[in-house]
Structure 1
Amino acid sequence: MMIIFYLLLMLRAGRCAHDPIFDTKTVGVGDDVTLTCPRQKNSQTEYFFWIRLVSGNFPETFKGTYQFEYNVVHMTPRTATKQGPETFLLQINKTEPSDTGVYYCIKVDLLDMTFLKGTFLRIKGPEPDITAIIQDLPSDPVRPGDSVTLQCSVLSDSETKMCAGQHSVFWFRSGSDESHPKVIYAHGNSGDGCEKSPEAHAPQKCIYNFSRNVSSSDAGTYYCAVATCGEIFFGDGTELEIEVNMWDLEKANTVLFLLCAALAISLIVNMYTIKKKTCDCCNADVAPQTNAAPASGDQQSQQMLLSRVIYSELTTWTFLLEHQTSTRGKLEEQREGMKKRQRERRSTPMSGR
């Protein structure tokens, strides 16, 4: 019989009743629920079944019953199917979130299958009590080596709290290179820093601070995240900008310029020295014929040495110039980006979630 049922389901041989019923039931986790289906006495060959449909899974079937009176209860650890007065019942005890789905009551009469009733069963878990997450921006400019404190205020309605335990608070950082946020800190005791307003129905406010000495690599967006009731809530984020020390930049440029100048002077001196030695070798060509071969060898050696020195120093010089240009360009882009973000931050009010 079950083989025929599956074949009929796959071949879509079923049809809906003339007045199909579809309703929705919402129950809490751990509650008991009973789904009912009308059972009319029309034929002795009719059978009734309950099936459950969950997106992405195969249909799940429950034990069926006959059209006629059949006082047998089919039970599993948490479900039971049985007959009632002109009804066919599916009972689910101590519901779990995984019980959420669409339940259909089906009547099968020989090769005819009819959908009598559909029920969307929603298992409602505990609701989180978080009402807002507010992050504060540092008021003063931040420079490398400064100590920065980021603050996150979590507002919650303690009267509607249904989850056991305290909130878990984490800090995430997303770098300027658009990388995925990474956890950088977790608060150990989330109950610290919480205060409840004496006013009636006022939310509870918990303040979480995160401090660190920053460097230029710590620039990015910092997010305060609160985990509760199996969910995680993020704040809007705090963008931490590290100001560039222009005095250090000027000193670095000056040192780089002096190195380039010293390299140029060294190149000129070496070229002059090697050239002078080469000329001395040329003057030695007027010596006796027996000394011609050694003089020629010394001349070739001096020329090779000159070429290597010139190539090495030109390569170093080119590298220093390219590094100086690249560094200056990046710093200019960073400075312009900081100015742009500061203008946007002044024109856009901050809002917490």
Structure 2
Amino acid sequence: KIFKQNFVFLCFVSTQTLCSKAIYWYKQNIGETLKLILALYKNTPPEYGPEFSNSRFNVNNDKNFSNLMILKTIQEDEGIYHCGITEWINAEWSGTYLLRTSNYSVVQQPTESKPDRTGDTVTLECSVLSESQNEAFNNVFWFRAGSNKSHPNIIYTDGNRTDQCEKRSDHQKRCVYQLSKNVSSSDAGTYYCAVATCGEILLGNGTTVELGMILFYLLPFILNYVNIKIIHICLKSSSSQSKLCLCVLIITQTEADINYAALNFSERKTRGRRKREFTETSVYS
């Protein structure tokens, strides 16, 4: 596995072979036929195939080895490289598979999102950076891992969309994928984008979505920094012999900007010596 490095293939040959036999180097992509890279005939200069040149493919014969060097490997260099040695009807063959490591990076934005209320729209963005202009991303998946540590669930897939890609430089391409949804209380959790390309699955760093959590954080703060006053007020009507009483619980701020009040309403009506209670209501705000 290599990335942007020089790579050397070794093919064992005897000193006598280098003088009397032909050496061939081929490349084979998966599912395709062999393509000639170069051919060496005795001590003559190498002859390159139509798709290859000495600008990136060099050959050197050293003692008992024929060395094929690829300069600054790219993704398209991945494949099987064959070394063939022939002399009349005799042939020797060997092959090496070159697997190039990924040159992608996946970035998610934002890393945290806190919508104010249910129904708000949250937009998550997944950016894929690549150093090859010819590569296409097969599929993009979105997963959500719930806040209760449940297993991630796939929620959306997006196929290859070339209109979302832009060329940032001669050697870099950027593709952007977005997920927009109206959130509800059950949508809290961490969202991940996953890009499947070239036999690999690349995961983003994740975006945490929280909804209405500030109410739970604020409650202990309210209870710790308050002053409490209780006021009892009664109003009596002389004509109807009824009385309206208000019990007011006032919680005022100390150092925090918080107000809390509880009201208790009771109504009593008196006829003669018998007293009858009607309704009693408590209101908190």
TM-score > 0.5 by shorter chain = no
Greater strand proportion: 2
Q: TM-score range by the shorter chain?
A: 0.3 to 0.5
Name which one, 1 or 2, has greater alpha-carbon Rg: 1
